[in-house]
Structure 1
Amino acid sequence: MRYVMFSSEAGARVGALVGEDTVVDLTAALPAVRTMRDVIAGGDVLQSEIEAAIAGASGRPLGAVDLLSPLPDPGKVICLGLNYADHAKEGGNELPGYPALFMRGATSLIGPGAPMIVPTASDKLDYEAELAIVIGTECRHVMEEEAGAVIFGYTIFNDGSVRDYQRRSTQWTAGKNFDGTGAVGPWIVTADELPAGAAGIGIRSRLNGAIMQNSNTAHMIFSVPRTIAILSEVMTLQPGDLIATGTPEGVGYARKPPVFLRPGDEIAIEIDGIGTLTNPVAAERAPA
């Protein structure tokens, strides 16, 4: 199943993408479904109700729907850095024995089609194609072999990074939290639609149509199950938490010459089995 959030005259709605191009309004069909968190927390009982509602409902064309971030209010947003060996090498970094971890705040996040913002403070906004895990079950101390049971689904993340600010300290928080730099979407695909642990699927970025990154989740240093086991050793993972699993090689700062996002660009992240997350790039508006 693919779940979306979209705007309507009545406000934000939860929808199900049926086939390739039809969106069914689940909020209209099931009044208890007001947010994506309702879907995530609803479990198998709600999933059965959703399937029944879809079977008897008409939809609207995907192209006529204004998509929002599929998870506009994530709980924790936990990100891995240097999780692909070739990406670590292109930046001159040693391969990590333990994942590089950082957090993102909600104000840094945007949805599909919304502009990624080049801040007034820097012209070094970079792209990062990433698979993101959506946690579905509260959990702690999860074994790798049991990690699949706590995953609700997956989405696409563009971990836009302001590189000079990222390097101002050993902690990456500043460079990873500028407003409007982290894109999420276009929808959440439930875990049963992908291989176990989302292993072995292609991941790419395209800048103005040109391929910049082209890799596969099989090249992760820390797999999806291993990542969940590591994180749940440290903290309780909760429904609606988002885990970004790192980016492969081909990012802009490591190119010669470097390639950074500029106003007027279009950046698209593709992950096989999920879809494509596309965002224009715009300059930050000057303060009034």
Structure 2
Amino acid sequence: MRVARFAGDDDPRFGVIGDDDGVATIAVLRGDPLYAGFELTGQKVPLDDVRLLAPVIPRSKVVCVGLNYARHAAELGGDVPEEPLIFLKPNTSVIGPGEPIFYPEQSSDVHYEGELAVVIGRICRDISAEDAAKVIFGYTVANDVTARDLQTKDGQWARAKGFDTFCPLGPWIETNLDPSNLEVNTTLNDEPKQDSRTSDMVFSPADVIEYVSSFMTLLPGDVILTGTPEGVGPMSVGDTVSVTVEGIGTLTNKVVSRD
């Protein structure tokens, strides 16, 4: 099931992506599938008639994993961590498909980082990797936008990865997916930049959930970014970046100036 959050003439709503005689549609839901349950309303709208939003706006946190692909660690001059390297993005950094990534005036070296993201569906603490699937609502696509120069300058990553618009998510949440061996690729202005598979991760999504939940309660709607493969690089104002994860879809955003 593909769960989308969208806007038309009404306030943002949730729906399930489907097909009606060859036309992509959204079956409208009543309620919030992540927090309060939901039911079908019986209404369907053409997908082309609505604007897709970030499929989830975390009420709590975005948890991220750094250096989770060995070749990415190597390209940044680092070693593979012995344990998952965890950092946080604020929920105010989240945007949806088609929304602009604002290039901050404080940086001159902003990078794309295409990733698989996990959406948590149940409150949990001390979950084993074997039980991790029980707390996962689904998966989506993410771009862990990073001001690389500020990451180096600050010596920690909060500012470099926490700017507004630095966490594009979308286009929807896929609830039925095996994350173990999916292709992840990124293009910049249609030019291939990243191309890897989730099987190359150092720590699997289940491993990450076990580790994070050992010291931090995970809540419904929390998002976990599972790390980016090699091939990261700079974006400039006017560029368009697209991240595709096999079995989910493509997340596209344009880089713009705040001026």
Between the aligned partners of 2:92 and 2:137, the Cα distance in structure 1 is: 23
Per-residue deviation at 1:201? 0.6
Q: In structure 1, list runs of 5 or more residues that go unmatched.
A: 253-259
Higher-Rg member (1/2): 1
Match of 1:207 in 2: 188
Provide the secondary structure at the position in 1 that maps to 2:211: helix
Q: Give 2:216's aligned residue.
A: 235
Indicate if the aligned counterparts of 2:3 and 2:173 stay in contact, CA closer than 8 A: yes
- How many correspondences in the alignment? 256
Instruction: Tell me the CA shift for residue 16 of structure 1.
Output: 1.2
Instruction: For 1:15 and 1:75, locate their aligned partners in 2 and report how far apart those are by CA, in whole Å.
Output: 22
Post-superposition offset of 1:42: 4.7
Comparing both structures, which one devotes a greater share of its residues to helix?
1
Q: Which amino acid aligns with 1:79?
A: C
Deviations 1:109-139 (A, max 9, x none): 2111001111112221100001111011111
Question: Which of structure 1's runs of 4+ aligned residues deviate more than 3 A?
Answer: none
Q: Give me the TM-score of the superposition, normalised by structure 2.
A: 0.94
Q: TM-score, length-normalised on structure 1?
A: 0.85
Tell whether the 8 Å contact from 1:263 to 1:282 is kept in structure 2 after alignment: yes
Answering whether residue 34 of structure 2 is matched by residue 60 of structure 1, we say: no
Gaps in structure 2 of 5+ consecutive residues: none
**Percent identity at matched positions?**
43
- For 2:199, which of 215, 218, 222 is the aligned residue? 218
1:25 to 2:28 alignment: yes
Structure 2 CA distance for aligned equivalents of residues 18 and 151 of structure 1? 22
* CA distance, structure 1, for counterparts of residue 249 and residue 60 of structure 2: 24
> Paired residue for 1:186, among 163, 166, 171?
171
Q: What one-letter code is carried by the residue in structure 1 that aligns with 2:188?
A: L
Query: In terms of mean alpha carbon deviation, does 58-67 or 201-210 score higher?
Result: 58-67
* Higher strand proportion: 2
RMSD after superposition:
1.4
User: Residues 121-171 of structure 1, C-alpha deviation per residue, up to 9 Å, x if partnerless?
Assistant: 222110000111101111111111111111000111100000111112331
Looking at structure 2, the residues matched to 214 and 128 of structure 1 have their Cα atoms a distance apart, in angstroms, of 11
Match of 2:243 in 1: 269
CA contact (8 A) 1:117 1:282 kept: yes
8 Å Cα contact 1:269-1:277 kept in structure 2? yes
In 1, the alpha carbon distance for the partners of 2:8 and 2:170 equals 18
1:75 maps to: 60
Instruction: Give the corresponding residue for 2:95.
Output: 110
Task: Quote the offset at 1:73 in angstroms.
Answer: 3.6
Q: Which residue of 2 aligns with 1:12?
A: 12
> 1:278 aligned to 239, 252, 255, which one?
252
5 Å matches for 1:67-146? 67-146=52-131
CA offsets per residue over residues 39-83 of structure 1, 9 Å max, x none? Answer: 02356xx4xx44xx5xxx352221221111111244211111100
